[in-house]
Structure 1
Amino acid sequence: MRTLGWEWAIEEACQNYVAREAVQLTEAGAEMLLEAADSLYDMLVESIPDPIPDEFLQRLAIPANLWEAVRHSWNDERHWHLYGRFDLALTPEGPKLLEFNADTATSLPETAVVQWASLVAAGQGNEDSQANGLFECLEDQFRHWRTLNIDRQATLLLVYLPGSAEDEANCAVLAEAARAAGFADLHICPVDDMKVSVAGEDRGIWAETAPQQWQKFDFLFKLVPWEILAEEEPELTADLTQLQLTRDVVIANPAYSLLFQSKGLLAHLWDVFPHHPLLLEASLAPLPGHHVRKPLFGREGQNVAEIEPDGRMTAEVPGEFGQQPQLYQRWAELPADAQGRLYQAGVFWAGEACAIGFRREAGVITNLSEFVPHVLV
């Protein structure tokens, strides 16, 4: 880790966060998870109506000031979806989709590097010991994104929410993949340090790459959720939309990733593919029986509540998303170990399903739940 310059991966906090054990996964089990993610992505794309009506965007709770950007990016293939992470429940009936983190999925460092390093450190690391092609697929995705937009300069700015070392580390992984794909000119900074102009010669996005030295960037990766931008920075959202329409900047993940990010799409998927073996029953109205309730744009497990078969609600995870529209999804029992910890599979998609990682927790899986590496047996 130190050779790579990744000091953050060996800090005490990270050691406590990454489990000291690995999930044993058969090759057939890994292939089942990867195939499920590929099938689910195809289903997501197939389910989006063309053209996209206002009623559909309203149902998914897409902010109205993003509708133009969503439609434009969906209809122009040069706006490329780089990656996302499927959260899956391994049930006795097979994998079931819990949700898709399509816009700003994290745990890239843990999945791509730390879990592999943990196997190497344990003397069990070889090319066949883990389902983990995440970095290579990210590199391919960046290369394809660049090829689709060959008329733009290969300059890439990566921004994240201020004060988040975790998000900065995720951007560092993406920057390494982009550099390997031919983006020679990159810069990482908090989103507050990015300057956006829609007028005159300064039109575009800029960052101070050195003291008093400002540079314009043609490509932008933002580890900032679209819906948060739309709500908290409406002027910036309008400017970014305008710059996209005139091709002064190309943004990933594209605005249309918000269609996949909205948990309202899970209800739509159930309508389009009723009783599909990879899906859990989901609705925008309360369900009978055992189910969960979660906000359409909730994050990190916040405001998720379990509803018992008799209608009683167990303790809700505290959070700031309780006022959002809610999704109701059939309960799925996660596999548990002898200590009662539940295991949730995360499968990264980057052009194809390419890497697996696990999270475990005695209760609802959140961003603070342990990350568990895996080893193929």
Structure 2
Amino acid sequence: MRRIDLTPRSDWKSKAEAVGFTWHHADGMRYWDERAAYAFTLEEVGGHIEPATETLHKLCLDLVDDAAGSDALMARLQIPEASRDLVAASWKRRDPSLYGRFDFFYDGEGPPKLYEYNADTPTSVFEAGVFQWLWLEDLIARGELPDSTDQFNSVHDRLAERFKEIFPNGGFVHFASDADFVEDRQTVRFLEDMATLAGLEPKFVPLKDIGLDADGRFVDQDNYIIGAIFKLHPWEEMLREPYAANIAGSKTLFLEPPWKAVLSNKALLPLLWERHPGHPNLLETYFDDDPKVERLGNNYARKPLFSREGANVELYKDGRKGRVLDLGYGEEGWIRQELKPPPKFGANYPVIGSWVIGDQPAGMGVREDRSRVTRDRSRFVPHIIEG
């Protein structure tokens, strides 16, 4: 694994916008960054990252199975009591999952280590599945990379296949997000395109426009019943909304399904460690109120259960806390994880995002930052597999 400097294409912005990648900058800061790429060997990807993704996916599903039969585990996961039957029933039906993203420490030397699992509403799927592949094809065509150069990336094709697996007879599927947040809307637009490739008829509905009819069914802005919906909105928030009581009786198929509430918060991490202590793909992790946190000493990462994009993550080195992006998370509880900063390449700290679609590893993306905590403005840097 190495970081290589490259010259950006002079027309990369127009190419990005031509395919709908309009959030290549955020608040004037570069998000897509092709001034560099991370180069991997086939062994690093096929022998380390891909099998770690497959292994951890199976461990996570085993944990969901445990939680579905345990009120104590549901409570530890901060799933509201009124919604625990909903979550358990979703798993017992094996409601289908579309995708998720594991975030790994990886330095090319040892096994990947799980930082967290974005199991419910992961973004960066378009840039991982489409734009970095178009970048690779372009550089090969220009002679700037050898023809033998590859990428760990079947995200686009697997998403279309997965929609077909979930809806083998086609049909009508709603897609929902915040219509005013560009990245979310364009991410959902991409997934609508994948559904169309699978023979489905997608329809977008803004989250704020979803309502209930007299029979307790969710309906869209035109009062059409929502029979199936992909929602870019996290379960930890949905289960705390006034409409949560209507979810079970709505007969709606949700992507992601309610059982993803077990995996989409960081309580997952100490529960996995408790079941698989010493596992090569896990970091030592405990709940904040567990006396065993003392084993971590003065070096650890303290994380709220529900935070996203690095918010309120506290890094302690020799007992001293680093800078924190405070967005108010933490009332739901905390975990402490072994301190394992990303490897440093120059001034940059990369984190590997490894995608699982259905039950299969499907590709990866690299986010880097000059901070040791990956945040929403951290840059997306393409990767290659050297031939």
Contact kept, 8 Å, 1:160 with 1:190, in 2: the verdict is yes
Aligned equivalents of 2:103 and 2:43: distance in 1?
19
Letter in 2 for 1:269: L
Cα RMSD (Å): 2.3
Give the corresponding residue for 2:180: 163
Determine helix, strand or coil for the equivalent of 1:192.
Answer: helix
Aligned equivalents of 2:24 and 2:132: distance in 1?
15
**Structure 1 residue ranges without an equivalent (≥5):** none
Q: CA deviation at 1:38?
A: 0.7
**Structure 2 residue ranges without an equivalent (≥5):** 1-13
Q: 1:315 to 1:12 in 2, by over 3 A?
A: closer
Give the corresponding residue for 1:30: 45
The more displaced of 41-50 and 14-23 is: 14-23
Letter in 2 for 1:254: P
Question: Residues 145-195 of structure 1, C-alpha deviation per residue, up to 9 Å, x if partnerless?
Answer: 114xx6xx7111110134211111111121111111121x21123201222
The more displaced of 44-53 and 313-322 is: 44-53
Aligned equivalents of 2:86 and 2:157: distance in 1?
29
Q: 1:253 aligns with which of 248, 251, 256?
A: 256
Aligned equivalents of 2:171 and 2:120: distance in 1?
22
Aligned equivalents of 1:367 and 1:50: distance in 2?
30
Residues 219-368 of structure 1: pairs in structure 2 closer than 5 A: 219-231=228-240, 233-234=241-242, 236-243=243-250, 248-285=251-288, 286=293, 287-309=296-318, 311-338=319-346, 340-351=347-358, 352-363=360-371, 364-368=373-377
Letter in 2 for 1:282: T
Letter in 2 for 1:227: E
Contact kept, 8 Å, 1:116 with 1:125, in 2: the verdict is no
Question: Residues 104-123 of structure 1, C-alpha deviation per residue, up to 9 Å, x if partnerless?
Answer: 01101111111112223323
Contact kept, 8 Å, 1:119 with 1:125, in 2: the verdict is no
Q: CA deviation at 1:240?
A: 2.0
Determine helix, strand or coil for the equivalent of 2:54.
Answer: helix
Identity %: 27
Q: Given the alignment of the two structures, is residue 205 of structure 1 paired with residue 218 of structure 2, yes or no?
A: yes
Give the corresponding residue for 1:137: 158
Give the corresponding residue for 1:6: 19
Name the TM-score, length of structure 1 as normaliser.
Answer: 0.88
Determine helix, strand or coil for the equivalent of 1:367.
Answer: coil
Question: Residues 85-143 of structure 1, C-alpha deviation per residue, up to 9 Å, x if partnerless?
Answer: 00000144321000000010110111111111222332349796111100111112211
Determine helix, strand or coil for the equivalent of 2:218.
Answer: strand
Contact kept, 8 Å, 1:90 with 1:334, in 2: the verdict is yes
Q: CA deviation at 1:348?
A: 0.6
